A = this chain, B = another copy of it.
Amino acid sequence: MALVEYAPSRWFNTIGTHEPVCHLKPGDVVRTRTVDAGGTDHRGETVAGRPNPMTGPFHVEGAEPGDALVMHLIAIRPDRSTGWTRNILAGDVLDPDYLQGLPVPSPALTVWDVDAAAGLVRVSDGEAFPWQSMDPMLGCFGVAPAGGEAISTATPGPHGGNMDYRGWRDGVTALFPVSVPGALLYLGDVHALQGDGEIVGTGIEISAEVEFSVDVVKNQGLRWPRGYNDTDIFVAGSARPLDQATRHATTEVSRWLVDECGYDLERVHLMMGQQVRYDLGNIYDPAYTMVCRLSRAMLADWNLDPSRTGLLPAYTG
């Protein structure tokens, strides 16, 4: 276990089998930087092109297809004093008759002040707007897909990618299905804040210092990105329409508890029916993201242990 500091000098706009920038061992902690969705870094210099330039890929020793890549998000720290958003709701979330009559405000982008030390953000227009709590998250991250694909960082999928889910924040551990040797992990597109759904088409887009650790769990059955923290486990499914994203996420939770952990189908489904929670990741990107989430305390009450196959540490209450 080592602390690896990596200062990126190149970025990728696709998540694929590109040359690794860094080789990691399981347990290593990485401290690196990400540029914002438009390629602008902490100094305000635009060093990479759109969309969502990725830092990485990081090759993780021992990760093989069929394994789970573990990425623990230790800290996501916006590293400059302004971010930006779009300022009008996207066509994806408006009725066509309302959309057709909508004026397009100008300028198209709005600057926000970001006081990372205080944990606050505000539309950068003096007193007219309130300070809001910051809640930094990774908008786009994931691992190389199978089959030689190189997937645009505009979109999410089974490999992760541009999920734009505000639950990917400090303290959460992400689990990805490994499709190529070394997994090849990418990250970027930090948002200082984002509502559910990313309905203006952006969060508060910003560069950041990101700290994370990596690990590998051998021979797991992941088909979609999963996550957990002290209180919850979840799966992020991505597709259009949202119905299909919901189907992917829900099916993966059932596979996890029934097919992987071996619990009784009826018991698992009875529990899910009355206890499940869904979070809307994004309803803007080429594929939408829906998250199916369960409380770990509640699972423990039901004697259902998602860590049974070693994918994550046991729940300790």
Binding site for B on A (CB under 8 A): 12-14, 16, 85-100, 102-105, 110, 121, 123, 129-130, 132, 147-152, 193-204, 239-244, 246-248, 250-251, 254-255, 265-267, 269-270, 272-278, 280, 283, 288, 298, 301-303
Which residues of chain B come closer than 8 Å to A302, judged between CB atoms? 129-130
CB pair B200–A269 under 8 Å, yes or no, is yes
**A63 CB to nearest B CB, Å:** 21
| Other-chain residue from B195, B244, B255 in contact with A240 (beta carbon distance below 8 A) | B244
Give the number of times this chain occurs in the complex, counting copies: 4
CB pair B276–A197 under 8 Å, yes or no, is yes
Which residues of chain B come closer than 8 Å to A96, judged between CB atoms? 90-92, 94, 96, 99
Cα distance A194–B270 in the bound complex, in angstroms: 11
CB pair A85–B270 under 8 Å, yes or no, is yes
Nearest 6 pairs of A and B residues by beta carbon: A91-B96, A200-B273, A241-B241, A242-B242, A150-B150, A195-B276
Cα distance A292–B116 in the bound complex, in angstroms: 29
Which residues of chain B come closer than 8 Å to A16, judged between CB atoms? 148, 150
